[in-house]
Structure 1
Amino acid sequence: MRYHLSSTAWTALAFATIGNAIPLASAQAQTEPQAQAAAQPEPQLQEEEATNDDIVVTARKRNERLQDAPLSVSAFSAADLRQGNARDFKDVLRKVPGVSFSGAELGQSRYSIRGVSTTSPSPTVGIYLDDISLLGVTNAFSGAADPVFFDFSRVEILKGPQGTLYGGSAMGGAIKYVSHAPELGKTTVDTAAGISSTAHGGVSYQGEAVLNLPLSDKLALRTGVLYRSNAGYIDNVANGTAVDVRTSTTAPPAALTPLARPSLSTLADKDQNSDHVLAVKAALLWQPDPSLDITPSLFRQAYRQKNTGAFWTNLPDLQSSFRLAQPTDDDLGVYSLNMVKRLGGVDLTSLTAYVDRSVRFDRDYSFYIATLVPALYGVNSPNASNSTTKTFSQELRAASSNPAARLRWTAGLYYSHQRDELDQTVNSIGVGALLGTGTDTVYHGNTVSKLTQYAAFADLTFEILPGLDATAALRYFHLKQTIDTRGDGVLNGGVTHGAADTSQSGVNPKFELAYRAGRDALVYASAAKGFRPGGGNPFAVAPGQCQADLANLGLSSVPISYRSDSLWTYEVGSKNQFLDRRLTLNAAAFRTDWKNIQQNVFLPGCGFSFSGNVGGAKIKGAELSSQFVVDGLTLGVAASYTDAKISRSATGVSARVGQPVLDTPKWIANANIAYHFPLGGDVTATARADYQYRSSSLRMFEDSFVVTTPTGPVLSNNFTQRQQSYDVVNLGVLIDTGTWQVDLFVNNLLDKAPLLDHNVVSGIEAAITLRPRTIGLGVRRQF
């Protein structure tokens, strides 16, 4: 049935910078001396070795200093990720120009980069853990997989199409999590603990420990465990008032009066949206000889949220009055075998992986079902949705290992098979006896999709003249997808069945010119194609159930499938450092032409939705980041401008020409300041402040919705159509004794509470918000 009440808050535990860290587009950042730059041995860097003040990235699947990579990439080191109680990617996201998200809690987000944003099941941003894709077919009950920040050496955010090296669904960019690799000959124990208090909520705490243990001169184990308990801040109250703005007790010409009535809830629960996460990891490095690394590894994460983070906007003080408990369980497992063989000037890599993710999503549909059948308002209607994804992948890759060679290249083969299943059941308790059907199930849907991918790719860089490089990359792919969907229940219009098979082949090219004018001056220009496969719609809906909605869109039935979409992005950029690398200034401008955009289309009258192709979009924008470091003082500023608008519409969708692409703020800006100073002896302190701003963005294409009145339906202004702008201020102080690190932080200092994911489609008016002001203390020590 696909209705989904956005249930979580954009977290306000935003990332705060320290030292030389620049969480800005394509900027230099601090890293720890012991942090490895990749989960495999590194070749020498071109022209010079990276210092401890550099981050080495693998955005192009070869090691290079961040400032030397001729593309827009942001990176956060291990030290960066530890500051300000950053828990997962959303905690650092607001510091990255051009990157945004909707959704919210762990595992429910939808990321977009530079306006390439969508609400369709197929994401536009690739998510990778150690080069292993974590993508599945997202749906209303599961978003992008979100590994918690746990023993990562860095996180990279690649902007623009990454299809040549990373495949489909990375058309807007990619997010890469890179784990610390086991180290031979070195025994370490890293421990950390923290506690914090959230306004309007309770106390959160966390602890973690990571052991690096050499088992012999050729064998090393790295393993660890993390546990976090996050306090809630939403109170569920019994006997609250439910307001349905889509039903009016008065009719025009009088002002509309939303229907208000008792919620009939007997559930009272303070700080109901608390959650906890448990993560474990283990990796074994076996180096039988200096030219061969064999690394089996596993990562498992179990996330449990007690209740949704949605609150009712008509109630005071972040309250809701749901009738039923609404827990979320999200389990992620990543298992891999990585083998690297160095043969003279060539490195051979084999990466075998298996990803297993399951999400159970229970929600209270009582008020939503009542909007479809008003007589059922007094009936409790629980929804249980279970989503599972299992993916096997194999990549074989060869790459030149001499970064100073005139010709540098990477080539490889890729295979993956993925199975996704979504099973949803909605029961209205007592309806079976009332209707004589013998069952309380008013809707049941089951969708199974299978996607098989084959690909061959190559990336070649040739030095035409000293300092001038030309790069050509190409990926050939072949995709096969099947989808089988079955539905039943009164609200489905009886038994339905739909199936679709699609296949597609094509190429993703990329071209690039880069000129290194000096040691610290780089200019580049690129053109790259992005691609996302089409597929089948996951809900087989009887046309009679949604006839009016479909007729409004010029359709007689829900389309069985939707087409692939593609784009071309053109970019020019410059990376520069001055004053002996104390001043960094990076800039980029881009234009994207996007065709056949996949987008979710909601049918409000019957509660279903489908994926369609809305037409096309033109996107243009620019990004600027700068940092200045002098005498312990670090000043940083970053900003992005994105103008993303629908340029072509299509039959059967609600998008109109000239409307902005969804969930794309026109302006994103960040400013930060940090001051590093001695306290005496070997003890130092770093004080930091961070300001983040996001302008408003369009949340849905529909500018009105239907309101039922005593004299018939009328149209009313959709006041939830636009996400309003908001800003966040964070403060912190890090004290470093050389052995101990103590981090004091205040996140969301001004206790901002914007209405995020604001909606009225559920029979209530609800929203989520930022985590309120959070004050905390973190302690870390390495033995």
Structure 2
Amino acid sequence: MNTRTHLAAAMSAAVLASTIPLHASAQDGAAGDGLEEIVVTAQKREQKLQEVPMAVTAVSGAQLEQQGITQFQDLLRSVPGVTFAGTEPGQSRYAIRGVSTEASSPTVGVYLDDISLVSISTSFAGAIDPAFFDFERVEVLKGPQGTLYGGSAMGGAIKYVSRQAVIDETSFSTAAGLSSTRGGDLSYEAEGVANIPLVAEKLALRGGVSYRKTGGYIDNVAGGDTEVWTRSTTLPPAALQPTRYSTLSTFDQDDANERDLLSVRLSAKYTPTDTLTVVPAVLFQKSEKDGTDSFFTNLPEYEASYRFGQPTKDDVGIYSLTINNDFGGATLTSISAYVDRDVNWDRDYSLFIGNLAAPFFPYDSYNTSDTITKTFTQELRLSGDAFSGRLQWVGGLYYADQEDRLLQVVTTAGAGVPFGLGTDVTYFGDQRTDSKQFAAFGELTFEILSTLDLTVGLRYFDQDQTVNAEFDGIFNGGASTVDDKKSSEDGVTPKVSLTWRATPDNLLYTTASKGFRQGGPNRFNTNSPLCAPDFERLGIDRVPDSYRPDTLWTYEVGSKNQVLDRRATVNAAVYYTDWSKIQQQVNLPTCGFQFVGNVGAAEIKGAELAIEAAVTDAFTLGGTASYTDAEITESAPGVSAQVGQSVLDTPEWMGNVYGDYKFHLSETMDATLRAEYQYRGSSLRQFDTTMLVSYPDGSAANVPNMTQIQDSYDIVNLNFTVFRGDWQYRLFVNNLLDESPYLDFSRTSGESSATTLRPRTVGVGARVNF
């Protein structure tokens, strides 16, 4: 029986056993009371999860703590229809329902307390990953969210909601944990949170500190070999044999991918009157990682042979002021925020540069990149209801000003003199992008009948982007500049939805919504002759000056149902997306550059199912499944995508099955045992079906790209938690079967390298609230 059959059988068993919500387990409610709902703010007002007429997955802070989830990647494998590429912290690219891309602008909005964390994505900085501690919940909104959340949410949105200070309540909580990873170093963590009233009924302060040291498991070894699959030691028709030679590394380091993460959060709640609430908040996060998660696939397990260390530093500061004032019939909300991020990325480019130009191979090549992003946002919205609650409405204005700078320098130490370069700097790039956007938005929900609601929404946006850059170095083909490349777009993103409450426990909805993503200038303007083979393959003679906006329409029908006296929840949705002028990163492997092009068009058809049931007062059974058929329907000159190919990083099947069993250990202790199986199907990693290989006689030819497909994999996690009064004790095993699929697999940069899931990890933890 194959893995897909296992998943289908497990899902069938779950359905037959009862029924199944992904969102809140029986652990959250009193025994015998069924499944307790989570309250969410997906539509920028508080609603019970089952009453929101859209596909939303929500996980409470208590569940995050009990399951030991410390980052979004740990959570998303149990969220139907959500995928990610890039395993390095702070480098991830998220996708929802097949709206997946490798381009400058992401397709999924990321928010912390309604503050946008989205920035221009580069090869050196992806989505901000806030540390999971002291969260009220995490919400995942699926489908275009352009009306309320803007152009960055054309595929959906991820919302992190932190806990606010509580007036007139003194509380403290602390937690600590220790874990061991097979073949790696120990990991440990500690956190503490305090809520302290300062002025009775007026002012409270909440603060927390979290520290996590994640032990490494990648060993860097001196004197290792590298495999270069773009060069063969044999001639056709003999099978391709990659060139293999010493990396010339003298650098030894065990557990080289160790990471330290420090997070400090401070907020206050001030209620000077019964109607006014003021919440200032600060989050500072500092991540330091000794080396990458990449290992060489030709060396023993989890070994690499780079010539020196490759640290990554990622500093994030988020400063916000939220003001709410209730006028009786309406509430005014103002959210002012400033996000400051600095990502410093050092990498060993020796093999990469040596692969581009063989004479440089004996020399050490150092890459340093610094990505600095500063974003100011201001949202002002008014919400309320009228006609005895039959009309609910929200409207507002939004402004964002973002400055993004990427400074990259590649130095090939000692190469300047023998090659007559006059400098050891073989590549220099200084790119500056200024983006501004203004939007006005509104959404109305009107109760046509007591059981039938109509929702209409509209967002008007006006966005401008300006790029300036200077480039130089032999690998850039000499000096070049980009002077005030501008792009400007405006338009509207509408939404219309009908909701029918067939019974108090059964809701049906249908929605049509538009998503939009701005275009922009291509920031690279390389003149390098090394790119000529790639240009010839793509049928172009240079990098396009710019890329166009892409848009999509999604049509969805969904159902949310509570059955068996609300002891079980069954949520399902089917959808169709028509995506045009898709933005996608186009790689130029022979010279190491990339640009953004418009691939053409795609059609996405999908379905999702999430079921959870309190089978007994002690046993909760649940599971999810998602099917996504995302296919390129139109291609375009100058890109690699071909009609009939799948959209990148989009598995056809994903799913999970889990069970929670509660029982008494003694009169003072209860326990919960949770087991979870997660499955991710295979997906297309790259559009390129071939890669260029050179032969000993000087000829070259295209051969099949053996890294094009991401293979399927599955994961099993176990979690045992003991509750004793205010104390919780936890024992867990993650990746029980020690699965190690090749993720981020590449054979085009002078090495054959990949990343993988963290190996089997066993740990313990404790938490106390007082």
Question: Normalising by the residue count of structure 2, what TM-score does the alignment of the two structures yield?
Answer: 0.95
Q: CA separation of 1:536/1:25 partners in 2, compared to 1, >3 Å: closer, same or farther?
A: farther
* Match of residue 139 from structure 2: 156
* Match of residue 170 from structure 1: 153
Amino acid at match of 2:366: P
1:185 aligns with 2:168: yes
Amino acid at match of 2:303: Q
Counterpart among 206, 215, 222 of residue 222 in structure 1 = 206
Q: Secondary structure at the match of 1:371?
A: helix
Let me know the Cα RMSD of the aligned residues: 1.7
1:269 aligns with 2:256: no
Residue identity (%): 51
* Match of residue 6 from structure 1: none
Asked whether the equivalents of residues 486 and 540 of structure 1 are also in contact (C-alpha less than 8 Å), the reply is no
CA distance in 1, matches of 2:643, 2:466: 32
**Deviation digits for residues 211-253 of structure 1, max 9, x if unmatched?**
1000012010000100000000111111011111111112112
* Match of residue 709 from structure 1: 695
**Deviation digits for residues 484-524 of structure 1, max 9, x if unmatched?**
12210011111001241011110000000001111110000
CA distance in 1, matches of 2:178, 2:715: 21
* Match of residue 717 from structure 2: 730
1:82 aligns with 2:69: no
Q: CA separation of 1:733/1:410 partners in 2, compared to 1, >3 Å: closer, same or farther?
A: same
Asked whether the equivalents of residues 656 and 701 of structure 1 are also in contact (C-alpha less than 8 Å), the reply is yes
CA distance in 2, matches of 1:77, 1:645: 34
1:475 aligns with 2:459: yes
- Paired residues, what number? 747
Asked whether the equivalents of residues 646 and 660 of structure 1 are also in contact (C-alpha less than 8 Å), the reply is yes
CA distance in 1, matches of 2:242, 2:541: 32
Counterpart among 546, 555, 561 of residue 561 in structure 1 = 546
1:672 aligns with 2:658: yes
What pairs up with 1:577-726 in 2 under 5 angstroms? Answer: 577-629=562-614, 630-711=616-697, 712-726=699-713
* Match of residue 123 from structure 1: 106
Q: Secondary structure at the match of 1:652?
A: coil
* Match of residue 729 from structure 2: 742
What pairs up with 1:467-616 in 2 under 5 angstroms? Answer: 467-499=451-483, 500-542=485-527, 544-616=529-601
CA drift at 1:31: 8.4
* Match of residue 259 from structure 1: 243
CA drift at 1:551: 2.5
Asked whether the equivalents of residues 478 and 528 of structure 2 are also in contact (C-alpha less than 8 Å), the reply is no
Amino acid at match of 2:673: A
* Match of residue 436 from structure 2: 452
Asked whether the equivalents of residues 27 and 67 of structure 1 are also in contact (C-alpha less than 8 Å), the reply is no
**Deviation digits for residues 537-587 of structure 1, max 9, x if unmatched?**
121101644223212212121111100101000000000011111111110
* Match of residue 91 from structure 1: 74
What pairs up with 1:338-357 in 2 under 5 angstroms? Answer: 338-357=322-341
Counterpart among 368, 383, 388 of residue 384 in structure 1 = 368
CA distance in 1, matches of 2:234, 2:138: 54
Asked whether the equivalents of residues 19 and 613 of structure 2 are also in contact (C-alpha less than 8 Å), the reply is no
Q: CA separation of 1:579/1:51 partners in 2, compared to 1, >3 Å: closer, same or farther?
A: closer
> Which piece of structure 1 moves more, 226-235 or 372-381?
372-381
What pairs up with 1:300-379 in 2 under 5 angstroms? Answer: 300-379=284-363
CA distance in 1, matches of 2:134, 2:161: 9
**Deviation digits for residues 710-738 of structure 1, max 9, x if unmatched?**
12112221110000000000011110012
CA distance in 2, matches of 1:657, 1:452: 35
1:294 aligns with 2:294: no
CA distance in 2, matches of 1:465, 1:709: 73
CA drift at 1:329: 0.4
CA distance in 1, matches of 2:111, 2:743: 27
Amino acid at match of 1:422: L
**Deviation digits for residues 667-718 of structure 1, max 9, x if unmatched?**
0010001101111213110011000000000000001101110121122211
Q: Secondary structure at the match of 1:91?
A: helix
1:206 aligns with 2:186: no
Structure 2: runs of 5+ lacking an equivalent: 1-17
Asked whether the equivalents of residues 26 and 620 of structure 2 are also in contact (C-alpha less than 8 Å), the reply is no
* Match of residue 45 from structure 1: none
Asked whether the equivalents of residues 25 and 623 of structure 1 are also in contact (C-alpha less than 8 Å), the reply is no
Counterpart among 125, 133, 137 of residue 116 in structure 2 = 133
Asked whether the equivalents of residues 447 and 538 of structure 1 are also in contact (C-alpha less than 8 Å), the reply is yes
* Match of residue 38 from structure 1: none
* Match of residue 39 from structure 1: none
Asked whether the equivalents of residues 285 and 296 of structure 1 are also in contact (C-alpha less than 8 Å), the reply is yes
* Match of residue 15 from structure 2: none
Question: Normalising by the residue count of structure 1, what TM-score does the alignment of the two structures yield?
Answer: 0.94
Counterpart among 724, 731, 751 of residue 764 in structure 1 = 751
Q: Secondary structure at the match of 2:151?
A: coil
Asked whether the equivalents of residues 676 and 717 of structure 2 are also in contact (C-alpha less than 8 Å), the reply is yes
Amino acid at match of 2:102: T
Asked whether the equivalents of residues 558 and 574 of structure 2 are also in contact (C-alpha less than 8 Å), the reply is yes
CA distance in 2, matches of 1:28, 1:607: 46
Q: CA separation of 1:24/1:460 partners in 2, compared to 1, >3 Å: closer, same or farther?
A: farther
Counterpart among 26, 41, 52 of residue 69 in structure 1 = 52
Asked whether the equivalents of residues 729 and 747 of structure 1 are also in contact (C-alpha less than 8 Å), the reply is yes
Asked whether the equivalents of residues 278 and 324 of structure 2 are also in contact (C-alpha less than 8 Å), the reply is yes
Amino acid at match of 1:596: K
Counterpart among 33, 38, 42 of residue 59 in structure 1 = 42
What pairs up with 1:405-484 in 2 under 5 angstroms? Answer: 405-484=389-468
* Match of residue 14 from structure 1: none
CA drift at 1:269: 0.6
Amino acid at match of 1:738: G
Q: Secondary structure at the match of 1:347?
A: strand
CA distance in 1, matches of 2:589, 2:211: 41
**Deviation digits for residues 642-689 of structure 1, max 9, x if unmatched?**
000101000110100000000001000100011011112131100110
CA distance in 2, matches of 1:701, 1:364: 27
Amino acid at match of 2:538: L
Amino acid at match of 1:446: D
1:147 aligns with 2:130: yes
Q: Secondary structure at the match of 1:289?
A: coil
Amino acid at match of 1:606: C
